[in-house]
Amino acid sequence: MKFKKNNKIILFLALFAVFFIWSCTSHQSQIQKTPQPPSASPPSSEEQTMSQGAVEEEASIETKEEIKLKENIVSSEETSITQAKTQDPSELLEEALDAYQDARISWDKGDLETALAALDEAYKIILQIDLPQDSPLIQDKNDLRLLIAKRIQEIYASRLTVVNGNNKTIPLTENKFVKEEIKRFQTNERKYFEQSYMRSGLYREMILKEMEKAGLPEQLSWIPLIESGFKVRALSRARALGLWQFISSTGYRFGLKKDQWVDERMDPVKSTKAAIQYLTELHSLFGDWTTALAAYNCGEFKVQKVIRTQRINYLDNFWDLYTMLPRETARFVPRFIAALLIINDPEKYGMNLPQPESSLRHETVIVNRPVKLSTLSESLGLNKDLLEILNPELRHKSTPDREYPLKVPVGHEEKTLAAINSLSRWIPPETTYVIHYVRRGETLSTIAKRYRSSVSSIARLNQLRSLHLIRPGQRLKIPAQGMSYASSSSTLKLVKDGEKLVYIVKRGDSLYWIASAFNTSVKQIKQMNNLKTDILSIGQKLIIQSGKPEGASLYTVKSGDTPYDIAKKFGISLDTLLKLNGLSIRSKIYPGQKLWIKN
């Protein structure tokens, strides 16, 4: 019985399995087939082919729709690019500027991510602007590009910011580091501190005005007390120079020029403006004045390196950073704070500060020939050091061999012009030179003769190993030392040709000497005469001045007239009169001569 019962169970399971398999097969068949009307007979081969074609056609329709959609997207992108290219460049620049302004607003709010996104958009717009080479918008495009790059740099740098400091004041923390510096000023460096404070009166009024214009804390005006002791010619072991102690590269970076005659790092006004630019940039970079001051003294890269090497993203206090900076270079900050504390309350620290010197008042006169300042001071009846104090940027304590705004005491403008024209031209002790590019066929001998120099002088200045081996295109310095400037300028005379002033070239002349004699430039002479090269020929006529000067009229020289008298009579400067008429400082005038004067 048990066996029969088991057989029945097995038979039931087998029938159930057959039914289940048949059911699944039937369902799958229904899915694969297209709907067909009920029929007892299976579909023919023709019907099966038609069904497959319908499925393929449906799939094909879907693929075409997808392709069309993609084509529309690409077409839309191409249209957008085409529209950007055809859009007015000035409009694109406006859009880029708007995006840049949005970035500034976000930056001020502290939303750095939005600021970066806006800057990315601004730069993207700029890249779409295609301008011809002669477009007046090129400069605007480049300026905006630089602004965007600078702002991006500031944003990334701000992520390394030490603290969020106050923009208007510098925290006067009196910690152990500051107290050490106060003690030094009270003892070993007391004399230095008092003398520096006294000298500050010469320049601090000017510095405060520039600080106020820039919106910087007035406390920063005391930086020169620590940097240079308010000595405009102070020179450090690191070759930093001037009130604000700029090295050459940093000075150049902020517009301070240096050449044979002038070093603007010693110019109080120009170096102050450069220092303000530098301090503003550092504050923007680090976010607080204390860190900016450390960077001013030891360099922003050194401070950034210390911040980057920290395991945390910020430092809660500047003095945590201070302890990781090189002690000798970072001492500037506590010394500066110590100086501010003493100046704010000298009695508290046992100091009796002297009265600051008075600032020097001056006016400016344009001079155009080199003379010693001491000689000029003597001829004006001034203290021999006064002009040197007013013009500390002049390296040789003499005016340059070009136009220069010389500072003179108030009321001495006309006297200076008259005196400077009566003084002999001063030649600096070190060799001055002009640049000459060797042309095919030239030798050192012909070059020396042309510039009234000597072969040995040229060879020595250029460190030439051979006197015979020079090549076309070679750059040579031609020494000007020992040349007779005065005699050459006095012998060069202009000929009036209608409303033109013409010079006739003589043997040995060069464009450099002619330009020097008539207070003009080689470039201007070449432009007026359509000259392609510097080569001149004897007897060649060169136009020095052409046409009636704007706002000028003619004056006929009378017996006894001097250029100074004529300039004074018509209320113009002597320098202006000489320039109008193409006269050199040594030129003579004669009765009946026609001179241009300003009305």
**Catalytically annotated residues:** 227
388 contact partners, CB below 8 Å, separation of at least 6: 373, 374, 377, 394, 397
Cα dihedral 112/116/117/120 (nearest 10): 170
Closest CA to 555 of 541, 540, 568: 568
- Polymer length of the chain: 599
How far apart CA 464 and CA 476 sit, in angstroms, is: 10
Q: Give CA 161 to chain center in angstroms.
A: 25
Closest CA to 556 of 544, 569, 572: 569
How far apart CA 545 and CA 494 sit, in angstroms, is: 10
Using only C-alpha atoms, what is the Rg of the chain?
41
Q: Residue 224 carries which side chain, given as an amino acid letter?
A: P
Place of tokens 């607003």: 105
Q: Give CA 263 to chain center in angstroms.
A: 17
DSSP state string for 259-307: -SSBBGGG-HHHHHHHHHHHHHHHHHHHSSHHHHHHHHHH-HHHHHHHH
How far apart CA 99 and CA 518 sit, in angstroms, is: 52
Contact 318, 155 (CB under 8 A): no
The token pair at 175 is 């910690």
> What sign does the CA torsion over 24, 28, 34, 40 have?
negative
Query: Distance of CA 279 to CAs 79, 291, 292, Å?
Result: 47, 11, 7
Task: Using DSSP bridges, classify how beta strands 594-598 and 552-556 pair: parallel, antiparallel or unpaired.
Answer: antiparallel
Rounded to 5°, the CA angle 291-194-354 comes to 125
DSSP state string for 218-257: GGGGGHHHHHTTT-TT-B-TT--BTTTTB-HHHHHHTT--
> What sign does the CA torsion over 389, 392, 398, 399 have?
negative
Backbone φ, ψ for residue 365 (5° rounding): -130, 140
Rounded to 5°, the CA angle 573-577-578 comes to 115
How far apart CA 423 and CA 421 sit, in angstroms, is: 6
